Amino acid sequence: MDSNQFYEQLLNLDSNWDISDVKIDMEQLLVEVHLCYNSKEGLCPFEGILSPIYDYAPVRRWRHLDTMEYQTYLVCRIPRVINSEGKVSTISVPWSDFSDRYTYRFASAVIELLQYTKNQTKTAFFFKTSFDVVNQIMNKAVNRGLRYRLEHESDKKIDSIGIDEKSYQKGHQYCTILTDATNKRILEVVADRTKEASKKVLDSGLSETQKSAIKVVTGDMWEAYQNTVKEQLPKATYVLDRFHLVKYLNEAIDKTRRAEVKEHPILKNSRFVLLKNPENLLQKQAALFNIISKGNYMVSQAYKIKEDFRALFGQIDSTHAMVILENWFFSTKGYAIEPIIKVVEMFKRHKHAIANSLSHPDSNAYAERMNGSIQELKVVARGFRNIQNFRIAILFHHGKLNLYPTLNFL
């Protein structure tokens, strides 16, 4: 078997294509596989019918998978056809998209390695190509996956979604992230966290069929999110995330501790002792916690208020939840702890959504886990210059999209 026959078998070309030559550069570690079109007709991309060959386009090269340690390129002059209207156009080739300078298989290999490394620079270095090529492959993969989702998954059942914010640059540069809690994936990412951004993320990430089926939306107290959900998804229940609610109380506890630490030095190294769940404390931490919890400190009272609130979760319905929430509000009146008072007043403004949280099993836990994974992307990439690059990275790694090109070239 000579080299032409070898590559004919590897490339598995259809009968319209032949290998005219294989050039091997031993010094540059380079292989060029020269292809030629052997038919007198080609498929017109405009009319979709066979048309006579008019001429041939200039020579083009496509990066392919390496042959051992040799970088391999396909080289060809693509035929152009003339149709019944006299229009001249270049036919498509089975190994690549029209505008690309790499093959489907090369793109698929880049996509696969990107999923492991999460780093475009390292992936480009491995394939001995440019960052721009890897970035283009990544962008095309996401756009291809989103088109497939729109065409084939617009009626996929989604009961529960999460809407959350994430910073992508310093200086309060935020984006809004829509998660599909039912199917554990990210649906869309848009710039900003305004009401307009909230509407855009729902319109882009969900079909009208899916919108009508949403039962639960989990999120935080950001009013732009709540108001948009009320308008766009009137049948859905908005559930405030438990993590965020408890986080507000934990922050109030720490503010109280810092205000008292000068007067009570024992509180100096107790921050994490008071923020951890008691069952997770180490032996020394547990001993310190017992001293503080039994002492006459404002922070001890603040901690008790938080624990009383945590005990409210798991009510049978929002009506019962509202009653015990009002009781909790009343129980906090006897405490003159400024940070706690501020949190309680905020909770009162959102009491209906909080009552939903106390009685509903759904939470924003998946979105919070995704926050950690998204933060990892930021660290590996050493930040993102703009929201578009951030969006592409998130959807590439966490959108569960059909990223790979259709391999007509097998």
Better-predicted residue by pLDDT, 245 or 170: 245
Better-predicted residue by pLDDT, 361 or 398: 398
Q: Which long-range contacts (CB under 8 A, 24 or more apart) does 90-98 make?
A: 90/45, 90/57, 91/37, 91/42, 91/43, 91/44, 91/45, 92/43, 92/45, 94/13, 94/14, 94/17, 94/408, 94/409, 95/11, 95/62, 95/64, 95/408, 95/409, 96/62, 96/409, 97/140, 97/405
Q: Compute the mean pLDDT over every residue in the chain, rounded to the nearest whole number.
A: 91
Query: Does pLDDT of 355 surpass 80?
Result: yes
* Average pLDDT rounded to a whole number, residues 362-389: 81
What distance in Å separates the CA atoms of residue 178 and residue 166, rounded to the nearest whole number?
Answer: 11
Give the architecture-level CATH label for domain 160-240+383-398.
Answer: 2-Layer Sandwich (3.30)
Confidence (pLDDT) at 1: 65
Structure confidence at residue 363 as a pLDDT band (50, 70, 90): low
* Average pLDDT rounded to a whole number, residues 351-359: 92
**Interacting residues of 12 by C-beta distance below 8 A, sequence separation 6+:** 409, 410
Lowest pLDDT segment from 71-75, 116-120, 288-292, 329-333: 288-292
* Average pLDDT rounded to a whole number, residues 55-82: 96
Confidence (pLDDT) at 410: 39
* Average pLDDT rounded to a whole number, residues 243-270: 91
* Average pLDDT rounded to a whole number, residues 149-178: 88
pLDDT digits (tens, 9 = 90+) for 71-117: 999 999 999 999 988 999 999 999 999 889 999 999 999 999 999 99
Confidence (pLDDT) at 365: 67
Better-predicted residue by pLDDT, 138 or 365: 138
Evaluate the CA torsion angle 207, 141, 401, 378 in order and state its sign.
Answer: negative
Structure confidence at residue 409 as a pLDDT band (50, 70, 90): very low
Closest CA to 61 of 72, 41, 75: 75
* Average pLDDT rounded to a whole number, residues 111-124: 95
Query: Does pLDDT of 380 surpass 90?
Result: no
Amino acid sitting at position 21: D
Query: Does pLDDT of 69 surpass 90?
Result: yes
**Which neighbouring-strand residues pair with 102?**
63
Q: Where do the domains of the chain lie?
A: 3-101, 160-240+383-398, 242-359
Query: Does pLDDT of 23 surpass 50?
Result: yes
Lowest pLDDT segment from 47-61, 158-172, 309-323: 158-172
What distance in Å separates the CA atoms of residue 132 and residue 138, rounded to the nearest whole number?
Answer: 10
Confidence (pLDDT) at 345: 96
Structure confidence at residue 278 as a pLDDT band (50, 70, 90): confident
What distance in Å separates the CA atoms of residue 201 and residue 176, rounded to the nearest whole number?
Answer: 7
